[in-house]
Homo-oligomer: A and B are copies of this chain.
């Protein structure tokens, strides 16, 4: 079972009332119309042994990661978080101190991003051999900025990213990143950003989502891709930047003229780099040493 195939299958089932559901499954958040307000709703989870190691990283880091992953989805829509709820499935022998540490991990994010933890459920696996699992759902709002979808990339747009990519798992960066909420708001308020996503599955995987949703193609120039120091020791640092994932940087598209201004002025907290452009067609191409290669949209994907 592949996660992306399953999401595609769900999307094909969908018949939503457009009065309520402005954007359904398949973007970083759902967009809902409630009482004249556009709201964002997103849920994400972390699993011990998959997204973190309880033994190595501890419960507080796990709690924090579960919250910032979901906050990064709110950032990817240029939204503002309102509140979060969480469920914790706790392994046998989990202590009150462990539960409190998870709560504190969530709470630190709540304080930092004005997103209080307003409810939750704690259950124990009991005799089942279940590891720690945390789900976080965040309600967000748009507050005067139209949500930026994956589907709006236009032929002729530049492709940009914030920060540097690759090797997040070599350090604690996959746990300790800061979701780009303020930067995303600045971008969407001041520039004609046409599409946006956060890089969780990897640059190739997430750009693949954008070009698929937008029915366009992308060309990336390998020279320009910003490679993180965390990937410097790798045999192929570019490969790390393209496929590792868990960077939680913003990947976005906007008209070339606006990209020029953005790159020159660098108005965000994070450094912005232009890495390529949107062209007609489908799929992705990598320009390397003057040659063109096909770039597969593979990335970090769950599979059972």
B6 touches A304 (CB 8 A): no
* Chain B: CB-nearest residue to A33: B82
Contact B127 A129 (CB under 8 A): no
- Contact present for A107 and B42 (CB under 8 Å): no
Is A120's CB under 8 angstroms from B32's CB? Answer: no
Chain B residues, Cβ within 8 Å of A43 = 85-87, 119-121, 135, 137
Chain B residues near A141: list those with CB within 8 A. Answer: 34-35
Set B36, B49, B94, B125: member contacting A47, Cβ < 8 A:
B125
Cβ-closest chain B residue relative to A5: B96
- Which A169-187 residues sit within 8 Å CB-CB of chain B? none
Report B-chain residues with C-beta under 8 Å of the C-beta of A91: 304
B residues in contact with A127, CB < 8 Å: 49
- In the complex, the chain B residue whose C-beta lies closest to that of A83 is B32
Residue of chain B at shortest CB distance from A100 = B9
Known: A45-B89, A119-B29. A96 touches B1 (CB 8 A): yes
* Closest chain B CB from A127 CB (angstroms): 7
A1 touches B135 (CB 8 A): no
A139 to chain B: which residues have CB within 8 Å?
Answer: 32, 34, 39, 41, 139
Q: Which residues of B contact A32 (CB under 8 A)?
A: 82-83, 118, 139
Q: Which chain B residue lies CB-closest to A94?
A: B304
Residue pair B304, A135 in contact (C-beta under 8 Å): no
Decide yes or no: A82 and B129 within 8 Å by CB, A116-B16, A123-B45 being known contacts.
no
Q: Interface segment, A20-28, A232-240, A242-250, A268-276?
A: A20-28
15 sampled A-B residue pairs with Cβ under 8 A: A1-B90, A13-B103, A13-B107, A20-B116, A24-B118, A29-B119, A32-B83, A39-B139, A44-B87, A48-B130, A49-B125, A50-B126, A50-B128, A51-B123, A123-B302
- 9 A-B pairs with the lowest CB-CB distances in the bound complex, closest first: A49-B128, A35-B37, A30-B118, A137-B137, A135-B135, A124-B304, A43-B85, A45-B87, A87-B135
Given contacts A41-B119, A123-B302, 8 further A-B contacts (CB under 8 A): A1-B95, A1-B96, A9-B103, A13-B107, A41-B85, A43-B86, A43-B137, A125-B304
